[in-house]
Amino acid sequence: MDVCGSVGRKSTWEQITFYVETIKQSTTIKGLENYGLSFSEAMGAEGVHESVHAADPVEVNRDIRSSQPGQKKLSEFIYERKARLMEAKFREELKKNKDNQNEKRKL
């Protein structure tokens, strides 16, 4: 489970839960990845992260297999790797877009 969200799953549904107050707070605390983002930008980043857990076929398949009785639990590093990578890419894109807009303003 992540600090800002989690994914619940049964065979016929998936549910993403966002801890909205935690996400709001995370935009105001220096040193956290959401620091300085607007609430909707932070929600976007958390959404990208949780959607990897919920919808990426490889991730979902591995997660379901490892949760079967007798299977070894995935390490947090393996479980979080792709979700964190995609979240980081989203933040890079956000930053690039902001930098581009700032450059345009200077012209």
Does 87 bind Zn ion (CB under 5 A)? Our answer is no
Site for Zn ion (CB under 5 A): which residue of 43, 83, 87, 91? 83
- Is 23 a binding residue for Zn ion by CB under 5 A? The answer is no
- Which of these segments, 24-32, 38-46, 77-85, 90-98, binds Zn ion (CB under 5 A)? 77-85
CB of 41 to Zn ion, least distance (A): 18
Beta strands in 11-93 (DSSP E): 13-18
| 49 and 86 Cβ atoms separated by less than 8 Å | yes
Of 64 and 96, nearer to Zn ion (C-beta) is 64
Beta strands in the chain (DSSP E): 5-10, 13-18
Neighbours of 4 (CB within 10 A): 25
Take residue 104 and report the two structure tokens written for it.
């345009």
Q: How many residues bind Zn ion (CB under 5 A)?
A: 3
